[in-house]
Amino acid sequence: MLSVNGTDAASFLVSAMNATNSSMVKSLQSLATGNKINRGGDDVAGQSIMQGLTTQSRGYSQANENIGDGISMLDTSDAALDSVQENLQRIRELTVQGQNGTLSSQEKDAIQSEINSRVENINNISKNSTFNGVNLLKPSSNLSVQSGANDGDQTTIIKTADTVNDTGVNIDVAATTGGSIGANSSFALSDLNVGASLGSYSGNTTATANPLSGLDEMIGNVSRMRSELGASRNALDSTMEYNDNYNTSLQAAKSQIGDADVGSVVSRLMSDRTVLQMQAKAFGMVNNSQETTFNLLTGTGRR
């Protein structure tokens, strides 16, 4: 039917062209960002899943950074304990020398002087071995790292001294309690005296009985502390590997849901462009139909 006022075809074509154009815009956005979902309306469920995966992925990435800091803390602690052990080895060597009955009192005083200096070194190492202001060899509480993306995902890496179970770290030259450098020894390191008049680090002038067995206990205690730190480091390495693998899986799932399929997008874009061209031609034909009707009415058509 020829009509001047009838616009059904034109309205339909305008609506269809708008829909096609909107589809082309979405395709161009996907190509520009590489993402299938650029707005919440693109995929409501997919967008929610994507945000959850992003939250977990970023959490595990940060957790691995935390673990890296924890490993640095453990390495610093182990290096400090290595220095403590080296000083203890030298103190034991000097004590063996000081036990020799051929020495004069002056020679024993010289030996005691170096022993006192070594004990002072250990005391200073204990006080000054810190990581971001946290004491490592005499911690006031257990030191932990957030090693996962969720609440409760924490790993204790350095424990305070446990006087009952003889675990933890406590380098205190005056201590003989469980978990400390002097645990199970017959004397505190600060009281060690090889029989010199000079006196021990703490001022004690009485010769220490059976000092070598006590020093052996102390060296063994430091080895035990280092073993605990080594076990903590291995645990962090394992957790970091797990986090990496899990995060890789999260990234793959995120990519599957949110990444644009470039081939499909380009194909859809080309198809939409062809359809839009056909719609534009059809729109032109509608205009020609109305113009023909007008010409018939006015007699202005071609003759």
Q: What pLDDT is stored for residue 15 in this prediction? A: 73
Whole-prediction pTM: 0.76
Q: What pLDDT is stored for residue 303 in this prediction? A: 47
Q: What pLDDT is stored for residue 21 in this prediction? A: 62
Helices (H) and strands (E) in the chain, counts: 5, 4
Q: What pLDDT is stored for residue 67 in this prediction? A: 98
Q: Does residue 119 lie in a domain region? A: yes
SS3 content of the chain, % helix, strand, coil (to 5): 65, 5, 30
Q: Does residue 26 lie in a domain region? A: no
Q: Does residue 22 lie in a domain region? A: no
| Beta bridge partners of residue 261, listed in sequence order | none
* Contact of 9 with 247, CB cutoff 8 Å: no
* Contact of 46 with 291, CB cutoff 8 Å: no
Q: Does residue 184 lie in a domain region? A: yes
> In angstroms, rounded to a whole number, what is the distance separating the alpha carbons of residues 168 and 160?
5
Q: Does residue 185 lie in a domain region? A: yes
* Contact of 172 with 156, CB cutoff 8 Å: no
**Closest listed residue to residue 109, CA positions, set 117, 219, 190, 125:** 117
* Contact of 111 with 103, CB cutoff 8 Å: yes
Q: Does residue 20 lie in a domain region? A: no
* Contact of 212 with 95, CB cutoff 8 Å: yes
> In angstroms, rounded to a whole number, what is the distance separating the alpha carbons of residues 228 and 207?
33
Q: Does residue 27 lie in a domain region? A: no
Q: What pLDDT is stored for residue 254 in this prediction? A: 76
Residue 270: strand, helix, or coil: helix
Q: What pLDDT is stored for residue 2 in this prediction? A: 44
- List the structure tokens of 68: 């890296």
List the chain residues with pLDDT less than 50: 1-2, 4, 303
CATH number at residue 221: 1.20.1330.10
**Domain coverage including residue 157:** 48-258
Q: Does residue 25 lie in a domain region? A: no
Place of tokens 């730190």: 229
Domain count, the chain: 1
